[in-house]
Amino acid sequence: MFALSKIVGWLVSPGNILLVMLVGGLMARRWVWGRVVASAAVFGFLLVAVLPIGPWALSRLEERFPAGATPEQVDGIVVLGGGAQLGLTEARGQLAYNEAVERDLALAQLALRHPRARMVFSGGVGELAPRGLTEADQARQLLQSLGIDPARVSFDPIARNTWENALNAKALAGVREGETWLLVTSAWHMPRAIGCFRRAGFEVRPYPVDFRTAGGFAWGLRFGLSNGLRSLEVAAHEWAGLVAYRWLGRTSALFPAP
């Protein structure tokens, strides 16, 4: 199932779809349908470049669970992996991160802010070809480099996706009745993550980080193909994930709400 999810993820990528349409249409340009397909691909790239389609789709996800005040009493914190670039870390010998680095930074910040809270970090290797290093390993190294004792954190180096994050985190947390737990992940990922944790029977409060939009969205013309396509890729992956997880029974709702 994990391998299938990776294949489907590649197939629903807007950039991949448009590129296949463009190449296929050009190869078949001697026929009318080929020229139509190629033209549609060019038009699609143009729309992504001049209209904020990607940011709009991303903002719908990010605004679902907006950032709020942190409760005074925090008994536990769960941080989901997704920010580490394990290949670069292994190749260069330095901790390397992608745009979701705020997840790991929040782990360190919250560990200092809530010294008595129990902490769980869930992150293995979300790739078809696993590496020796896991996201949990890298998070442990980050804490050590910042002078924070990693023994405070229960690490899950096995989880490969959001559903496994929820199951493994619940097993490690040992939640007691009446406790308040925070869930830290990217704002655009929060709806699916909350849905998975609810389905797993682990009630958490959202602590969104890694915002990609500024809020207060407004339509307008601009030109930026790479940024527009990147936003659309992230949004399409997440919306497809919401649909797939609901179909598989892994979330509490199609689009979980507060």
Kindly report which listed range (28-32, 50-54, 127-131) carries the lowest average pLDDT score: 127-131
- Say what the pLDDT of residue 3 is: 55
Residues whose CB falls within 8 Å of the CB of residue 150, separated by 6 or more in sequence, listed in order: 139, 140, 143, 144
Task: State CA 41 to chain mean position distance.
Answer: 27
- Say what the pLDDT of residue 15 is: 87
- Say what the pLDDT of residue 72 is: 86
> Rg of the chain's alpha carbons, rounded to an integer?
20
User: What is the rounded CA–CA span in Å between residue 208 and residue 182?
Assistant: 10
**pLDDT-derived band at 99, boundaries 50, 70, 90:** very high
- Say what the pLDDT of residue 64 is: 96
**pLDDT-derived band at 58, boundaries 50, 70, 90:** very high
User: What is the rounded CA–CA span in Å between residue 148 and residue 142?
Assistant: 9
Q: Which residue do the tokens 């709020």 mark?
A: 68
- Say what the pLDDT of residue 69 is: 82
Q: Which amino acid is at 35?
A: R
Residues whose CB falls within 8 Å of the CB of residue 136, separated by 6 or more in sequence, listed in order: 81, 121, 122, 123, 124, 155, 156, 157
- Say what the pLDDT of residue 4 is: 60
The crossing angle, in degrees rounded to 10, of helices 2-11 and 225-247 is 140
Give the containing element (helix H, strand E) for 106: helix 102-113
Q: Which SS3 state, helix, strand or coil, does residue 84 take?
A: strand
Domain segments of the chain as ranges: 2-63+222-247, 76-209
Look at residue 208 and tell me whether its pLDDT is greater than 80: yes
- Say what the pLDDT of residue 181 is: 98
- Say what the pLDDT of residue 130 is: 64
CATH of domain 76-209: 3.40.50.620
129 or 99, higher pLDDT: 99
Residues whose CB falls within 8 Å of the CB of residue 97, separated by 6 or more in sequence, listed in order: 83, 84, 85, 104
- Say what the pLDDT of residue 29 is: 87
**pLDDT-derived band at 214, boundaries 50, 70, 90:** confident
User: What is the rounded CA–CA span in Å between residue 55 and residue 58?
Assistant: 5
Percent of the chain with pLDDT over 70: 92
- pTM of structure: 0.89
**pLDDT-derived band at 57, boundaries 50, 70, 90:** very high
- Say what the pLDDT of residue 132 is: 81
